[in-house]
Amino acid sequence: MAWHDADSWLTLAFAPHPGTLALALLVVIALPILLHAYIYRRRAPDSFPTFLLVGPSGAGKTSLLTLLSHGAPSATHTSSTPTAASLTLPITTTPASSRYRSNNDPSADRARKFRLLDTPGHGKLRHYALSSLTKTSPGGALKGIIFVLDAAALGEDAGAAETGEYLHDVLLLLQKRHTGNKTSKGPAAIPVLVAANKMDLFTALPQSLVKLRLEKAVEEVRKTRGRALKDSGIELSAGDGEEEEREGLADGYEGTFGFKMLEDSDIEVKVAGGSVKGDKGEGADVQEWWGWVAEQL
């Protein structure tokens, strides 16, 4: 039957038919509810900017998290699961985005809020950190990575090796994220703060040396990684023979590694010293780190 017939569906839809009325009523009532639910759901996981705490085990990540979330570091042990805390910047630091706002602006308070994600540093559990780097986190954009390290351990070879390795892996992932991106604009850059913790200890490497030592450690990893065996990925997956090009950290550069080499890949690395636990009962020294966080907000 044609659409202009007397009993076609179109005619019916415009006729005062009880079914049509019921349907219309249903749509009118349900639509706002569904819409509300939809929008509310989308906004519900408060999309605060997120910062990721990474670093080798025992560096002081969890201590830092507890210090920032309730003023004093609590006793900690090796973490085996990640954890998150919502934090607010202290009044004394102003986030970069609200530099021009009045202090009394109520929206300034919201701009100060952020989420800090602590991850375990144990060798077997680093996938928590590395996977939250690659996939976009559910609650809010990843605004920065805080790589916490133990400045006292960095003075020893074993500690430096472990730290260098982890930092290398993190930086390589960030670089891959940049090169793997196909769109012209590229993903938003994720800056890295290397927080040299435990500066209160007298065995700690002085701040001026931390950066040099780290670069050397990363360079060592970079050197051996480039020559290491390929891994088993292709052979075992019964396969489509195509060999993946192995990407190394700062491949295009000759000479020893420096954090500057990463600027091409939009990775900004800043090294700052501090301590979660104060010097003989004095307060903790995290001002510089707070300042960095504020800059990213």
Of 68, 104, 84, give the one whose Cα is nearest residue 292: 68
Among 48, 49, 63, 192, binds ligand GTP (CB under 6 A): 63
**For ligand GTP, the closer CB: 257 or 289:** 289
* Rounded-to-integer distance, Cα 166 and Cα 149, Å: 10
Single residue of 51, 61, 162, 168 touching ligand GTP by CB under 6 A: 61
Q: Which is nearer to Mg ion, 79 or 132 (CB)?
A: 79
Q: Which stretch binds Mg ion (CB under 5 A): 75-83, 122-130, 184-192, 241-249?
A: 75-83
Q: Indicate whether 175 belongs to the interface with Mg ion (CB under 5 A).
A: no
Counting contacts by CB under 5 A, is residue 63 touching Mg ion? no
Binding flags for ligand GTP, 258-277, as an x/- string (CB under 6 A): -----------------xxx
Where b means 16+ CB within 10 Å and e means fewer, 176-201 reads ebbeeeeeeeeeeebbbbbbbbbbbb
Nearest to 161 by CA among 227, 224, 214: 214
**Residues between 220 and 249 with contacts to other proteins, criterion CB under 8 A:** 220-221, 224-225, 227-233, 235-238
- 85 lines the binding site for ligand GTP (CB under 6 A): no
Please, what is the Cα angle at 249 between 245 and 254, to 5 degrees?
100
Residue pair 179/247 in contact (Cβ under 8 Å)? The answer is yes
| Minimum CB–partner distance for residue 140 and Mg ion (Å) | 22
Dist. CA 57–CA 286, nearest whole Å: 19
Subset of residues 122 to 181 that bind ligand GTP, contact rule: CB under 6 A: 122, 148
Q: What number of CA atoms fall less than 13 Å from residue 277's CA on the CB side?
A: 14
230 binds, among ligand GTP, other proteins, Mg ion, none (CB under 5 to 8 A by kind): other proteins
The nearest distance, CB 296 to other proteins, in angstroms, is: 21
Position 288: which residue type?
E
Judged by beta carbon, residue 92 or residue 224, the one nearer other proteins is: 224
Closest CA relative to residue 73, chosen from 274, 275, 291: 275
- Least CB distance to other proteins at residue 118 (A): 6
- Sign, CA dihedral 273-276-280-285, equals positive
- Asked if 120 is part of the footprint of ligand GTP (rule: CB under 6 A), the reply reads yes
Q: Which of helix, strand or coil describes residue 36?
A: helix
Q: Are 218 and 167 in contact (CB under 8 A)?
A: yes
Least distance in Å: CB of 122 to other proteins? 5
State yes or no: residue 219 binds other proteins (CB under 8 A): no
Q: Are 163 and 214 within 8 A, CB to CB?
A: yes
Q: Among Mg ion, ligand GTP, other proteins, none, what does residue 213 contact (CB within 5–8 Å per kind)?
A: none
Residues contacting Mg ion: total by CB under 5 A: 3
Q: Indicate if the alpha-carbon torsion angle 271, 277, 278, 280 is positive or negative.
A: negative
Which residues sit at the interface with Mg ion, rule CB under 5 A? 61-62, 79
Binding interface with other proteins (CB under 8 A): 57-58, 62, 65-66, 69-70, 74-86, 118, 120, 122-125, 127, 157, 161-162, 165, 220-221, 224-225, 227-233, 235-238
